[in-house]
Amino acid sequence: MLGFGLVFLLFVIPFDIEAGPEGVLPPSLVPNLMMGLIVFLSLILIVKNRRRPEGENAEDEHSPISSPEMKAVVWVVVLMASSILLFLWGGALPAAVVLVVGLMLAMGERRPLPLVLTPASLMLGAYLLFYQLLGTSIE
């Protein structure tokens, strides 16, 4: 996490976010604050783990994350990545449907009616909002 935060602080944020106009807060303020917080918290974790004596409760400690929880996290990450790729290659509608239905399945929803009506109502609402009310496109 320390490396991730430092890469973003030193390379990604300065090169991707342009400077704002004079007299206002820069657009990079919040990303810099968040990455600074991640770096700070990762340093705290490193110091805390270095100070712990060797072998202290090492055998008794189990991961606080269970196997089903880890599988759910992996499922959501794969689902998000596939939805992003589907958005780039197929458009907003199929990506949103896959994302909503996949997340509903990940949360344990198995009834067919909510699996059909939820994405349909969300897509209809997004269509009405963006195309009809705002007169713009999602893509």
Residue 62 lies in a domain: no
- Please give the average per-residue pLDDT across 69-74, as a whole number: 89
Lowest mean pLDDT across 9-13, 44-48, 59-63, 98-102:
59-63
> Is 71 found in the same domain as 25?
no
Q: Which two tokens stand for residue 24?
A: 């206002």
Confidence of residue 39 (pLDDT cuts 50, 70, 90): very high
Look at the chain and report how many structural domains it folds into. 2
Show Cβ contacts of residue 44 under 8 Å, excluding neighbours closer than 6 positions: none
- Do 128 and 87 reside in the same domain of the chain? yes
Asked, for residue 59, whether it belongs to a domain, the answer is no
Same domain, 92 and 118: yes
Q: How far apart are CA 117 and CA 104, in angstroms?
A: 12
35, part of any domain: yes
Residue 44 placed within a domain: yes
Which residue range is the domain that position 20 belongs to? 2-51
Confidence of residue 64 (pLDDT cuts 50, 70, 90): confident
Confidence of residue 57 (pLDDT cuts 50, 70, 90): low
Based on the number of CB atoms within 10 Å of its own CB, is 83 exposed (0-12), middle (13-18) or buried (19 or more)? buried
Residue 119 placed within a domain:
yes
State percent of the chain over pLDDT 90. 54
Average pLDDT over residues 28-47: 94
Of residues 51 and 42, the one with the higher pLDDT is: 42
* Domain membership flag for residue 76: yes
Q: What is the mean pLDDT of the chain?
A: 88
